[in-house]
């Protein structure tokens, strides 16, 4: 599977809820095949950035361009087809009649679903109700679904929230392996400075709907005041 990864350009984007700006004149460029971490405390606007890239939110002003095309109408649909999105929260009733295998196949088709179920060691879950899986298994199923779409872009919103530390490490290792194999563009969101994947080299720090720092991981994490800047 050969892909090039997508380039994303957010220009002066403002998103409002009522009169309050959730994103305030935010600009961000992510190159093809780049792996970035969006870091910021709860409420800083990280999820809203991902939703803007998916065309779910309506800008008050500014724009999002994907591979040089403004994200409107048909371009939003085309974009979603190229994107694997693992949302921050998901839930399902335990008696909802859908199996893990069904969820993975929502990504593309049964054949791709079987490939990713095997790749992610989820074969033993595919006939079980989705709601009966553990949080970590659900997270992996969501990633398998995202990957079975054969995406060029992967958006991961705080995947650590449902995983214990060893499941989280496995999850990140898998993302890193797939990122390099498929040359995906990856935007990984977290509010924890200690949870930045090894192979991610660029950190974009958000606060109050704005980007306050953007640079190499080493440089940003070396800043003695980084915790205060992020959480203070």
* Shortest spacing between CB 157 and ligand ADP, in angstroms: 7
Residues 37-56 interacting with Mg ion (rule: CB under 5 A): 46-47
Residue 137: CB minimum distance to ligand ADP, A = 24
Indicate the residue whose CB is closest to Mg ion: 47
* Radius of gyration, alpha carbons of the chain: 17
Q: Cα dist. 159→88, 171, 195 in Å?
A: 7, 8, 10
Looking at the Cβ atoms of 46 and 108, the one nearer to ligand ADP is 46
Nearest to 108 by CA among 151, 148, 152: 148
Q: 210-216 and 185-190: which strand pairing? A: unpaired
Q: Distance (Å, rounded) from C-alpha 224 to C-alpha 221?
A: 8
User: Of residues 24, 37, 48, 185, which one binds ligand ADP by CB under 6 A?
Assistant: 48
48 binds, among ligand ADP, Mg ion, none (CB under 5 to 8 A by kind): ligand ADP
In the structure encoding, which two tokens stand for residue 69, read together?
A: 């095309």
Among 1, 2, 19, 42, binds ligand ADP (CB under 6 A): 42
Contact 116, 148 (CB under 8 A): yes
Report, in Å, the least distance between residue 24 CB and ligand ADP.
11
- The pair phi, psi for residue 87, each rounded to 5°, is -70, 165
Instruction: State yes or no: residue 46 binds ligand ADP (CB under 6 A).
Output: yes
Chosen residue from 4, 12, 17, 135 binding ligand ADP by CB under 6 A:
17
* Closer of 104 and 204 to ligand ADP (Cβ): 204
Q: Residues near 43 by Cβ (< 8 Å), separated by ≥ 6?
A: none
Binding footprint of ligand ADP on the chain (CB under 6 A): 17, 22, 40, 42-48
């Amino acid at each position: 599977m050969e892909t090039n990864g997508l380039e994303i350009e957010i220009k002066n984007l403002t998103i409002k809820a009522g009169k309050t700006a959730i994103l305030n004149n935010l600009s961000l460029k992510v190159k093809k095949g780049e792996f970035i971490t969006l870091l910021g405390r709860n409420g800083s606007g990280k999820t809203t950035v991902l939703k803007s890239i998916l065309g779910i939110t309506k800008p008050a002003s500014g724009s999002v361009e994907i591979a040089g095309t403004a994200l409107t109408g048909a371009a939003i649909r085309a974009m979603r087809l190229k994107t694997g999105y693992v949302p921050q929260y998901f839930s399902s009733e335990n008696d909802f009649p859908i199996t893990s295998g069904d969820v993975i196949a929502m990504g593309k088709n049964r054949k791709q679903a079987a490939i990713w179920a095997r790749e992610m060691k989820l074969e033993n879950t595919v006939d079980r109700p989705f709601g009966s899986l553990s949080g970590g298994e659900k997270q992996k199923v969501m990633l398998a679904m995202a990957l079975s779409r054969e995406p060029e872009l992967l958006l991961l919103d705080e995947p650590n929230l449902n995983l214990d530390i060893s499941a989280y490490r496995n999850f990140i290792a898998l993302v890193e392996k797939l990122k390099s194999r498929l040359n995906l563009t990856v935007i990984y969101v977290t509010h924890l400075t200690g949870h930045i994947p090894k192979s991610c080299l660029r950190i974009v720090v958000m606060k109050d709907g704005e980007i306050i720092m953007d640079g190499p991981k080493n440089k940003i994490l070396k800043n003695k005041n980084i915790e205060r800047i992020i959480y203070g």
